[in-house]
Structure 1
Amino acid sequence: MSTALTTPTSSPMATAAVLAAIDEAAPRLAALAPEAERLGRLPDESAAILRRTGLMRMLQPKAWGGAEAHPVDYIEATLAAARSGCGAAAWVGGVVGLHPWELGVMSPQAQEEVWGADQDTWIASPYVALGRARRVDGGFVLTGHWYFSSGSDHADWAHLGGLVVDDDGEPIPGSDHHFLVPKGDFEIVPGSWDTIGLRGSGSNDVVVDERFVPTHRVLEYATVVDGTAAAAVGQQDSALYKMPWFVLFGNAISAAVVGICEAALDATLAYQRERSNVFGTRQSQDSFTLPSIGEAASDIRASRLQVIDNVRRVHEVLERGEVPTIAMRAEARRDQVRASWRAVAAVDQLFARAGGNSIRSDQVLQRLWRDAHAGLNHAVNIPGGAYQAAALTQMGLDPEGAVL
């Protein structure tokens, strides 16, 4: 088993050590950010830094060298990584850092296969059900093409979403499953990640062609979403592993977005502090720019607090042995989406007042602005359905079909 440095417990001291490690690594992650953009993936050094901080194992079971940290601590760590100034590193940390949590509610055999030789193994995704799986003896045969597999260049496994097909090859409605596939059974499509934002996240297309996936490496999607998968592997008393998937995953995505916006605020303050506009007015004395910075800072902080509160409230319900209601899950989704949009709108105001030089490619602010907008385009940040579902539950109505 690996003996690489990680946080050994979920104690406040261990969490503080992760945050301290991220803070210490932040300047180097920021310095490597342009290289990540050039490569279209995290440089090996950036990936190694993320491993050393302990972020990637915060949600991993203690039995496999993880921290089993409080989920709020994981959200805080993702925010901190984003504030480093490398949005791509934070994005990979938030997304790939969640995947040990899902493996933690899978079969012990699957956990042994992934972590038995190396507890620092990374698992990529995506979960969207673009694959098609045919039932065979002992498992499924999976085929598909997926987009947005963040961190896949550094991953040895991938959680891939798919639908089971019937005897005629037609997808069975409601048959969504997650399939855990090793590297070699999935392939990265060369040159598939070429974007305007989060370029360094390496969110490649991946393909699988007629590969067998045994039953112990398959998880029914619905049991992950509602948090009931934990009971099947003896985690029925764990508030962490009973967290509803969208509450944890959605807020991890938003934490990366909001943290990038915090980094953009930091960059704005540094940039505007000494800047004069074309009329010779110091921005630190400008009565138009300063109020806009103050307003943006408040909106970004509100987003941070909302993301943290979403996760804390649901976790507290589970700690009491209760089940989060559909209304609570809908509120968490609504607020998670709103936090992302509010924070990015605040960055738009900052960028709009940063002057012409801010659009130069060597300026940090323009990269963070692009990264924030790219994160906003993730599926969990689509506002319509999340807002509608929350409104329906507030009216006492059933948000049928809502992604909660």
Structure 2
Amino acid sequence: MGHVLDRIMQHADEIRAEGVEGDKIMRLTDTTAKHLRESGIIRTFQPKEFGGFEGHPREAAETVMALGALDGATGWVAGIVGVHPWELAFFDPKAQEEIWGADNDMWMASPYAPMGVAVPVDGGYILNGRWAFSSGTDHCGWVMIGAAVGDKDGNRTGQVLHVVLPRSDYEIDQDSWNVIGLRGTGSKDLIIKDAFIPEHRTLDAEIVLSGNGWRHAGRDETLYKFPFSYIFPLGITSSLIGMTEGALACYIAAQKERVQVTGVPIKEDPYILFAISEAASEISASRLALLETVDRFWDKTDRGEEISFEERAIGRRTQISAAWRAVRAMDEVFARAGGAAVHLKTPMQRFWRDAHVGLTHAIHVPGMIYHSAALTQLGGEPQGAYRAMI
């Protein structure tokens, strides 16, 4: 896995520069996508039998953080697209062969939210709907999405499937992504009309969400026993922390010789020096908290032990608080960056925009997760939605 980060860092300056163009065209540039593909980062969680690395989630997180610090959108796409091979490992081997057989660098987009309806027919389902927020979708040849199972009249039954479709079966709405941050992710809408999904390209979402994907697929590797509720948010939060690290690096580089309008150099302002140290410490704490949970969960899983609901809830609480802490710390230095930081020609404003938009993702919403973590620790039993994504 170390060689993946090495390959990425060989192109660090170019990825950083391409981020400016990606922000304009509202998708990753072809050059950036090429560098990501050649680095192998999307194969991190891919099974070895299909050319994957079956890598440690910590290494994946650190690599995504490094990418996020170069360009937020690039880190984001790598973190999201990079988790899909982990789940595809639970699908019917026929589906895996269809996607990876001819090209083990094939990328899959998402989202998992069941925004469309799949109606059962002989041999599979007919799928219709519109899905928003398909990050990196322009560079993907397949998509893995959530679908509500419908009855013959199309009414939702309550069951949710995760399904995979080739690029020929869906349309990308190129005009659906015009936003203030993470513009380069190209997280556009997908439209699906009467697509036939054969049974082997479907998987009951509950099998994955419950942590039983590895049992269903007959896999015994530690990676595939890892909780979905932590591995899925990991790439997203890692990219977000990387963005705050990138913003901090920009800030420090710009402040070294800066003299304020008062005539006092930044280096001689004790209040700003305090703010820099405090922000750097908070961002560092966010990184370490996220990685510590990954290591602890991995080691316990590797010993064949189950990660309890309480541990998972606390892990999600840690992941969410890491994201919020890092963004708050970034805000403290951005507010002290001076007027130059607001110019679109400077990279700091893009990190700032990207990180704030990244914080709005559903996996960063603290309410129910914080509630469930505390209630469980107090001996309570969260129910219904309060157990979701834990």
TM-score by length of 2: 0.97
**1:232 offset after TM fit, Å?**
2.2
Corresponding residue for residue 238 of structure 1:
221
1:134 corresponds to 2:134: no
1:169 corresponds to 2:164: no
1:64 corresponds to 2:50: yes
- Give the secondary-structure state (helix, strand or coil) at the position aligned to 1:184: helix
**1:23 offset after TM fit, Å?**
2.1
Paired with 1:136 and 1:219, the residues of 2 have a C-alpha distance of 16
Counterpart of 1:240 in structure 2: which amino acid? Answer: L
1:55 corresponds to 2:38: no
**1:50 offset after TM fit, Å?**
0.7
Deviation track 1:369-391 (CA, whole Å, cap 9, x = no partner) reads 00000110111001101111101
Corresponding residue for residue 124 of structure 1:
109
Corresponding residue for residue 199 of structure 2:
215
Corresponding residue for residue 277 of structure 2:
294
Counterpart of 2:75 in structure 1: which amino acid? Answer: A
Choose which of 130, 136, 145 in structure 2 pairs with 1:160: 145
Paired with 1:93 and 1:272, the residues of 2 have a C-alpha distance of 30
1:178 corresponds to 2:162: yes
Choose which of 353, 363, 367 in structure 1 pairs with 2:336: 353
Paired with 1:372 and 1:177, the residues of 2 have a C-alpha distance of 31
1:224 corresponds to 2:198: no
Identity among equivalent pairs (%): 44
Corresponding residue for residue 316 of structure 2:
333
Counterpart of 1:101 in structure 2: which amino acid? Answer: W
**1:364 offset after TM fit, Å?**
0.9
**1:357 offset after TM fit, Å?**
1.3
Contact 2:78 2:235 in 1 (8 A): no
Deviation track 1:162-216 (CA, whole Å, cap 9, x = no partner) reads 111123422112x111111110111101211111001001111111111111111
What is the aligned residue count? 387
- Give the secondary-structure state (helix, strand or coil) at the position aligned to 2:102: coil
1:91 corresponds to 2:67: no
Paired with 2:259 and 2:346, the residues of 1 have a C-alpha distance of 16
Corresponding residue for residue 299 of structure 2:
316
Paired with 1:25 and 1:231, the residues of 2 have a C-alpha distance of 39
Deviation track 1:300-356 (CA, whole Å, cap 9, x = no partner) reads 011101111222222222111121110011011111111100000001101000011
Gaps of 5+ in 2: none
**1:294 offset after TM fit, Å?**
0.5
Paired with 1:288 and 1:63, the residues of 2 have a C-alpha distance of 56
Choose which of 26, 29, 38 in structure 1 pairs with 2:12: 26
Choose which of 55, 59, 68 in structure 2 pairs with 1:73: 59
- Give the secondary-structure state (helix, strand or coil) at the position aligned to 1:240: helix
Corresponding residue for residue 100 of structure 1:
85
- Give the secondary-structure state (helix, strand or coil) at the position aligned to 1:210: strand
1:194 corresponds to 2:178: yes
Choose which of 23, 27, 36 in structure 2 pairs with 1:41: 27
Paired with 1:64 and 1:18, the residues of 2 have a C-alpha distance of 17
Paired with 2:167 and 2:152, the residues of 1 have a C-alpha distance of 28
Corresponding residue for residue 148 of structure 1:
133
Contact 1:247 1:310 in 2 (8 A): no
TM-score by length of 1: 0.94
Paired with 1:26 and 1:155, the residues of 2 have a C-alpha distance of 22
**1:248 offset after TM fit, Å?**
0.3
Paired with 1:189 and 1:310, the residues of 2 have a C-alpha distance of 38
**1:273 offset after TM fit, Å?**
0.9
Deviation track 1:84-120 (CA, whole Å, cap 9, x = no partner) reads 2x11111000000111111111111000000111111
- Give the secondary-structure state (helix, strand or coil) at the position aligned to 2:223: coil
Deviation track 1:202-242 (CA, whole Å, cap 9, x = no partner) reads 1111111111111111111111122211122221x211112
Gaps of 5+ in 1: 1-14
Paired with 2:145 and 2:2, the residues of 1 have a C-alpha distance of 33
How large is the Cα RMSD of the aligned pairs? 1.0
Give matches, 1:378-397, under 5 Å: 378-397=361-380
Corresponding residue for residue 248 of structure 1:
231
Counterpart of 2:216 in structure 1: which amino acid? Answer: A
Paired with 2:383 and 2:297, the residues of 1 have a C-alpha distance of 21
1:303 corresponds to 2:282: no
Which shifted more, 237-246 or 369-378? 237-246
Counterpart of 1:216 in structure 2: which amino acid? Answer: H
